Structure 1
Amino acid sequence: MKMCSAIMGASLCALMGAMAAPAHAEGELYFYNWSNYFPQELFDKFEKETGIKVTLDVYDSNETMLAKLQAGASGYDIVVASDYMVDVMIKEKLATEFDAKSLENFKNVAKPHDTMKYDPDRKYSVTYLWGTTGFTYDSDVVGEKLEDSWKEFFEPREELRGKIGALNDEVEMYAAAAYYAGVDKCTEDPKEAQKILDILLKQKPYVAVYSSEGTIDRMAAKEVAMHMQWNGASHRTRESLPSAVFVYPKEGLSFWSDHFVIPSGAPHLDNAKTFINWMMQPENAAAASNYAGYMNGIKGSDAFLDDALKADPAVNMPEEYADRLVPGKNCSAKGRDLRNRVWTKLKS
């Protein structure tokens, strides 16, 4: 620990170390994931079938998770990382090579999820769930069908002032504004980044909250009338708010996938591999989809999916919207710096 030094004393340093990391037992698994993104019932089932107890810790963004790992956090056996973050973790040697294709149930992985851009041989990762990022509006409040455009979100009508919910997510918000501006979301041009900032600043007076957590409850309680959401969250919103409508903006929307990754130094490597292999069983993958509202990449899981999930266009995307999907992209250092500067100015 960088905080420990000779002047602090060995006993104090030892105490701090004990407080910083959880105690481990052979039959345990430490899982680091987005909040509200995995059903407790599935953890219980895994423990019953394997004897391995799962302890969950949560984060609110890929960047939060990365920062914790970069700072030297140890003790996690599995983290859930989005596509571009898998690339970062591999390059920074924060991921453990475990050869996912060697696991027994990898045979259940459907194309194109048997490979990915940043891990083509699947040495470091397995797809958990995948989806899109658009926005949801309450048609009862708005009173009419809105245009399939980011304009409705970034330049909302006056009656929606203070009733817009935005994700507290630098990558998602910047990308959406870039689609609306018609520029590359990984632009290295300061002038184009300024266009993105102008869009975000113009929207800001209409935004009630920047938060990636509680989007479902916020919409259901009608605290906001519109919210940037992942499509699975929109599906779950609709369960309690039938008037919720998910929008696939014509300018483009992010298509993403989240993946199980074993971080470097995982204390229970075999347990992590057991869990990932177990999650590639169709019934278990479907249980995760039914809870989170996102599709998985496992063959045969559709037999266990809820009918409501299969019938919701927010999840089962209409074919005509396929060309609107924009895949994840790991931007250059210059592009990431511009994005961060824009986000910092927006939130200041």
Structure 2
Amino acid sequence: MRKLLTATALSCGLAGMAGAEELQLYNWGNYTSPELLAKFEKETGIKVVVTDYDSNDVALAKVEAGGAGFDLVVPSANYVRFWVDKGLVVELDHAKLANIGNIAPEWMDVAWDPGRKFSIPWQWGSTGIAVNTTVYSGDINTSAVFLEVPDELKGKINVVPEMSDILSLATMYAGGEPCSEDAEVMKKVRDLLIAAKPDWISMDYGATERLSNGDWAASVNWNGSTMRARLATEGKVQYGYPKEGFPLFMDSVMLLADAKNVDAAYKFLDFIMVPENAAMISEFARYANGIAGSDAFMSEEMKSAPEVVVPPEHLAHGVFLPGCTGKALEYQTAIWTELQK
């Protein structure tokens, strides 16, 4: 999470290694450290080819359609159950993962994958509000910034088109819980979003660049992307944690059921659980990871970043989203379809 406009394949390898073993990684755009891939290839001789996607739904639909040819995928916590239930991924053989013990205890027995039977942590973070504070100096710790857009930000704020994040932010703002099946609450959510949309400049990805270059003055955005924009703008872009509630996510790597390069996949999974390597992932995309000891290899700016280390006063408002099903999903899909028109 994590997303960019890119839809092209990124490959990182040693020149002249024709016929080298390859691994196909399907991951969020602008989310994979080239330095990490170069190190992996140098140590193993395995070339990693990365294909980007920009949403959980896109990734799930592409793989479910069949014939994609990927070995590993990196879905968010609230989508893990869908991959498992659809039989698209296989249970991991922990005996092949010497570094499995490096997963931090708090990230080992998680609700979406107890005991890490199917997934290995990649990165985790939050969805909040990124604002250029030279344009708007009001409260940024509220979803009102995009749901009741202040005059200074009208026509200057973007909303990332990630259904579960946006619907959850709006539902919590309306006083409900994520995946609400309350018709009255969801009508409030629908009305809020439809009324607010004319004040948005766009519903798009690419916030890191567009906040950095001033195309957008604000965006619903992910914390790591916002940190990158803050550094690029010398502190002008700041990250807000909506007090009404905001989503937390963890993206984790899973082995696809039709993977062709299984041995290479296990080598990569074990590789990313080495603390120094996990730190490379975080230093590139600017999100925290779930590997114990990785902090020792991170820069001070990463270890103390307010976008990465959630301030105590905001932590209680963060919620790991469930995977919506049934009536809740029907409500969300109907609202999202209308919002896209």
| TM-score (ref. length: structure 1) | 0.90
Please name the residue that 1:114 is paired with.
108
Matched, 1:83 2:69: no
Please name the residue that 2:231 is paired with.
239
Matched, 1:138 2:132: yes
1:147: how far off?
A: 4.8
Please give the alpha-carbon distance, in whole angstroms, between the structure 2 residues aligned to 1:284 and 1:299.
Answer: 12
Please name the residue that 2:37 is paired with.
43
Q: How does 1:209-288 map to 2 (within 5 A)?
A: 209-212=202-205, 214-241=206-233, 242-288=235-281
Percent sequence identity is: 36
Please name the residue that 2:324 is paired with.
331
1:156 to 149, 154, 157: 149
CA contact (8 A) 1:74 1:266 kept: no
Query: Is the partner of 2:105 in helix, strand or coil?
Result: coil
2:55 to 61, 66, 75: 61
Please give the alpha-carbon distance, in whole angstroms, between the structure 2 residues aligned to 1:258 and 1:101.
Answer: 23
1:145: how far off?
A: 4.0
- Root-mean-square deviation over aligned CA pairs: 1.5
Query: Is the partner of 2:109 in helix, strand or coil?
Result: coil
Please give the alpha-carbon distance, in whole angstroms, between the structure 1 residues aligned to 2:208 and 2:127.
Answer: 14
Matched, 1:93 2:112: no
User: More deviation in 150-159 or 297-306?
Assistant: 150-159
1:192: how far off?
A: 2.2
Query: Is the partner of 2:186 in helix, strand or coil?
Result: helix
- Rg larger in structure: 1
Q: Which amino acid letter does the alignment assign opposite residue 204 of structure 1?
A: K
Please give the alpha-carbon distance, in whole angstroms, between the structure 1 residues aligned to 2:208 and 2:112.
Answer: 31
User: More deviation in 109-118 or 268-277?
Assistant: 109-118
Please give the alpha-carbon distance, in whole angstroms, between the structure 2 residues aligned to 1:285 and 1:66.
Answer: 25
Please name the residue that 2:21 is paired with.
27
Matched, 1:205 2:205: no
| TM-score (ref. length: structure 2) | 0.91
Matched, 1:173 2:135: no
1:50: how far off?
A: 0.4
Query: Is the partner of 2:252 in helix, strand or coil?
Result: strand
Q: Which amino acid letter does the alignment assign opposite residue 121 of structure 2?
A: T
- Residue by residue over 1:233-274, the C-alpha shift from the partner in whole angstroms, topping out at 9 and shown as x without a partner, is 111111111111100111111011000001111001111111
- Residue by residue over 1:141-181, the C-alpha shift from the partner in whole angstroms, topping out at 9 and shown as x without a partner, is 11x24252111221111232110011011111111101110
Please name the residue that 2:293 is paired with.
300
Please give the alpha-carbon distance, in whole angstroms, between the structure 2 residues aligned to 1:102 and 1:253.
Answer: 36
CA contact (8 A) 1:130 1:257 kept: yes
1:100: how far off?
A: 3.8
Q: Which amino acid letter does the alignment assign opposite residue 76 of structure 1?
A: F
1:101: how far off?
A: 6.7
Please give the alpha-carbon distance, in whole angstroms, between the structure 1 residues aligned to 2:225 and 2:275.
Answer: 22
CA contact (8 A) 2:283 2:298 kept: yes
Please give the alpha-carbon distance, in whole angstroms, between the structure 2 residues aligned to 1:303 and 1:118.
Answer: 28
CA contact (8 A) 1:100 1:122 kept: no
CA contact (8 A) 2:108 2:116 kept: yes
Query: Is the partner of 2:89 in helix, strand or coil?
Result: coil
CA contact (8 A) 2:135 2:152 kept: no
Matched, 1:313 2:268: no
Please give the alpha-carbon distance, in whole angstroms, between the structure 1 residues aligned to 2:186 and 2:141.
Answer: 24
CA contact (8 A) 2:140 2:241 kept: no
Please give the alpha-carbon distance, in whole angstroms, between the structure 2 residues aligned to 1:154 and 1:99.
Answer: 45
Query: Is the partner of 2:135 in helix, strand or coil?
Result: helix
Query: Is the partner of 2:107 in helix, strand or coil?
Result: coil
Please give the alpha-carbon distance, in whole angstroms, between the structure 1 residues aligned to 2:124 and 2:340.
Answer: 28
CA contact (8 A) 1:177 1:196 kept: yes
Q: Which amino acid letter does the alignment assign opposite residue 112 of structure 1?
A: E
Residue ranges of structure 2 left out of the alignment (5+ in a row): 1-17
CA contact (8 A) 1:178 1:196 kept: yes
Quick one: structure 1 residues 100 and 25, their matched pair in 2 at CA, closer, same or farther if it must change by over 3 Å?
farther
Q: Which amino acid letter does the alignment assign opposite residue 182 of structure 2?
A: D
Residue ranges of structure 1 left out of the alignment (5+ in a row): 1-23
Q: Which amino acid letter does the alignment assign opposite residue 220 of structure 1?
A: S
Q: Which amino acid letter does the alignment assign opposite residue 150 of structure 1?
A: S
CA contact (8 A) 1:232 1:294 kept: yes
CA contact (8 A) 1:128 1:259 kept: yes
